[in-house]
Amino acid sequence: MPDAALAITEDETELHADFAREIAKQLRAIDTYDTYQGWSDARVLDPLILTKERKREIPIVGDPDEITIARVKAYYNAIASLIEKKTKLMAVPVVNLTHEGFGRALVIVGKLIVVDKTLRDVHRFGFPSLAKLNEEAGKLLDKALELVESHAEVANL
């Protein structure tokens, strides 16, 4: 993919957000064939950005491919990793999907479920912009941290 076709620019300030850096790290971690070697974070994160034009190219009904499923898992792994960094408690992401792209994503801290997200149309997983990606992840993270704080006894089990 040539850099000119990227939806994210190299100088975008959102690339320096904690979540953007973490999900780039998670995506690189699952890259067993070193496809991302030498790629900038903008290029690694670019497939997560579904502009209106990109979304129009994806059929409304379809089954997710393995790469898309891996991106979904990396997204929730990044959220779990940031929860761990902020709470010093182990956070475990669990993603359960059918072959049709429906399912659920959970992040569990101790015996406490801090993220519970229903997944639909996973073949169209993405965000309109990097800012929206960071914003949505930030909302999930804030709510999860609030739950850990208010139910610390359960989270420490």
Per-position pLDDT tens, the chain of length 157:
444 578 888 888 999 999 999 999 999 999 999 999 999 999 999 999 999 999 999 888 889 999 999 999 999 999 999 999 999 999 999 999 999 999 999 999 999 999 999 999 999 999 999 999 999 999 999 999 999 999 999 999 8
Q: What is the strand order of the sheet 103-109 is part of?
A: 91-97, 103-109, 112-119
Cα–chain-centroid distance for residue 86? Answer: 17
* DSSP run (H or E) holding 139: helix 130-150
What lies within 8 Å, CB to CB, of 20 at 6+ separation is: 14, 41, 45, 130, 133, 134
- Strand positions, DSSP E, 63-149: 91-97, 103-109, 112-119
115 near 106, Cβ under 8 Å? Answer: yes
What is the set of domains in the chain, with CATH numbers? 3-155 (1.10.3100.20)
pLDDT value at residue 6: 85
pLDDT value at residue 1: 44
Amino acid in the structure at residue 30: I
